[in-house]
């Protein structure tokens, strides 16, 4: 990967003296956001910096085993205002795995008010915001964790990649690539994975901790979603599923239980695009996945106030489930008429 050396030098200068750093991740934090934030925090702390990591809301139970994940401060639960104080006093604020502060909702809005700290972006989403002082924006990279690995190594060398840091980074690389199955799997990614493996990380255990640690309710909800809720359009080339609050309650839903469901319709050979609509408090979360040239980043931006990557994107809908689905069906039709799906 081509990490811009002059930016590394700027970041090195910024971090030359021990300073106060806040690392921020996106709403509905995933393995990539958490793994890359915690890895950077670990490395910077060992260099003498004081570091606080925060995410807007809670993260799924099957990520709670990640080393140091207990130290992540959930901004929504931060009654002692530790994050507000840390951001107010911060010398450097680093946004990981998000392209804009709006991806961190209230936490992002609070961070945006701090105009004195230097802002650093380390991210792999399309269309990064322009208000960062140093911006490592690499949409061609499969995970922020691999970008983070490259930035850390460029800053301080491979020696700083401890087994803990390697475990944290591996989670991000594994989850954002669907266990190394999606696009952008470059030779240098596997060189990075080799360096992580060399620290002695336990790859099967990491895999099991994430992918074989669900509840019974999640397994049953998955069966229900695929069997009863998956609908198709355009002769079976586009799919969608939806889950209402009542349905989720029926299966003892816990946050994160529907993660990955949206990928499943794409196991059907002719499927080009898949959507999942999940009821949340006050809005509907939209998850989109696609294959090949079908660009769900464009689709999410155009129709669902969102964005992401070409083949994995998301957004929000502020109308009812029925209206959301109706809007989706119309949007798919329009996308189809333009030859985009
Ligand atoms: P997921 O479906 O896993 O929630 O998200 C897939 C991808 O879309 C992720 O890369 C995520 O960052 C992005 N994404 C999800 N929701 C939103 C959103 O509301 N706005 C934007 N800009 N991107 C989103
Ligand atoms: Mn990511």
The answer, yes or no, to whether any atom of ligand 1 lies below 6 A from the CB of 314, is: yes
Mean pLDDT of 34-56: 98
Cα(250) to centroid of ligand 2, in Å?
30
The overall average pLDDT reported for the chain is 97
CA of 225 from ligand 2 middle (Å) equals 25
- Which residues fall within 8 angstroms of residue 325, CB to CB, at 6 or more apart? 240, 242, 277
* 1 band by pLDDT with thresholds 50, 70 and 90: confident
Give the ligand with the smallest distance to the CA of 34: 2
Ligand 1 atom 13: residue of nearest CA: 308
Write the pLDDT tens digit of every residue in 154-184: 999 999 999 999 999 999 999 999 999 998 9
**pLDDT > 70 in the chain, percent:** 100
* Cβ neighbours of residue 293 closer than 8 Å, sequence gap 6 or more: none
Helices and strands of the chain, counted as H and E runs: 12, 12
Domains 5-210 and 217-337 share a fold: no
Which residue matches tokens 């915001």? 129
Domain spans, the chain: 5-210, 217-337
- Residue 259 CB partners (closer than 8 Å, separation 6+): 30, 60
Pocket test for ligand 1, best of 33, 141, 313, 318 (most atoms within 8 A of CB): 313
pLDDT digits (tens, 9 = 90+) for 79-135: 999 999 999 999 999 999 999 999 999 999 999 998 899 999 999 999 999 999 999
- Which CATH superfamily is 5-210 part of? inorganic pyrophosphatase (n-terminal core) (3.90.1640.10)
Q: Is 258 exposed, middle or buried (0-12, 13-18, 19+ CB in 10 A)?
A: buried
Question: What fold characterizes domain 217-337?
Answer: Diaminopimelate Epimerase; Chain A, domain 1 (3.10.310)
pLDDT at position 115, please? 86
Give me the mean pLDDT over the 261-279 stretch.
98
């Amino acid at each position: 990967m081509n990490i811009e050396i002059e930016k590394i030098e700027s970041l090195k200068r910024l971090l030359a003296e021990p300073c106060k750093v806040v690392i921020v991740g996106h709403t509905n934090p995933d393995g990539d956001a958490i793994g890359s934030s915690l890895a950077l925090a670990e490395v910077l702390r060992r260099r003498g910096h004081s570091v606080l990591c925060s995410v807007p809301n809670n993260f799924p139970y099957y990520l709670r085993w990640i080393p140091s994940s207990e130290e992540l401060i959930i901004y929504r639960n931060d009654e002692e205002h530790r994050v507000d104080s840390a951001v107010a006093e911060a010398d450097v604020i680093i946004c990981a795995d998000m392209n804009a502060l709006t991806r961190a909702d209230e936490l992002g809005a609070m961070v945006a008010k701090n105009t004195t700290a230097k802002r650093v972006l380390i991210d792999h989403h399309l269309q990064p915001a322009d208000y960062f002082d140093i911006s490592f924006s690499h949409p061609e990279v499969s995970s922020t964790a691999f970008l983070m690995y490259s930035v850390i190594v460029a800053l301080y060398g491979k020696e700083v990649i401890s087994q803990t840091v390697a475990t944290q980074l591996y989670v991000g690389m594994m989850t954002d690539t669907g266990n190394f199955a999606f696009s952008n799997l470059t030779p240098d990614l596997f060189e990075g994975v080799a360096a992580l493996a060399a620290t002695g990380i336990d790859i099967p255990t990491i895999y099991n901790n994430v992918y074989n640690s669900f509840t019974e309710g999640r397994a049953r909800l998955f069966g229900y979603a695929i069997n009863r809720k998956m609908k198709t359009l355009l002769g079976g080339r586009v799919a969608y599923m939806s889950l209402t609050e009542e349905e989720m309650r029926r299966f003892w839903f816990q946050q994160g239980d529907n993660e990955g469901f949206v990928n499943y319709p794409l196991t059907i050979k002719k499927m080009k695009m898949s959507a999942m609509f999940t009821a949340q408090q006050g809005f509907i979360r939209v998850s989109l996945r696609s294959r090949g040239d079908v660009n769900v980043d464009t689709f999410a931006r155009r129709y669902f106030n969102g964005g992401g990557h070409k083949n994995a994107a998301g957004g929000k809908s502020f109308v009812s489930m029925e209206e959301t689905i109706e809007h989706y069906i119309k949007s798919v039709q329009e996308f189809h008429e333009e030859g985009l799906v």
